[in-house]
Amino acid sequence: MLNKRPTNRQLLIIIALLAQMAFTAILHSEHITDRTTPAGFSHLISLGVMTLTIFWTKPE
């Protein structure tokens, strides 16, 4: 298992999770505190990204 190259599906999951973490960090950044986005907005997007990633990369 450790010697195998990661499959495209695993790489896609890793990239999606990193992108989600970066997006959440940007939205929660103290430099962007104009309060134009609702409080739960970033959490909804994070949940949506995780759900899409799980279903998108479901093994056949």
pLDDT tens digits, residue range 3-37? 677 677 777 877 888 887 777 777 666 555 555 55
Q: Averaged over 37-47, what is the pLDDT?
A: 67
pLDDT at position 47 is 76
- Mean pLDDT across the stretch 32-56? 68
State pTM to two decimals: 0.45
- Give pLDDT, residue 10: 77
Mean pLDDT of the chain: 70
Please state, in angstroms and as integers, the Cα–Cα distance from residue 43 to each residue in 8, 24, 32, following that order.
Answer: 26, 8, 16
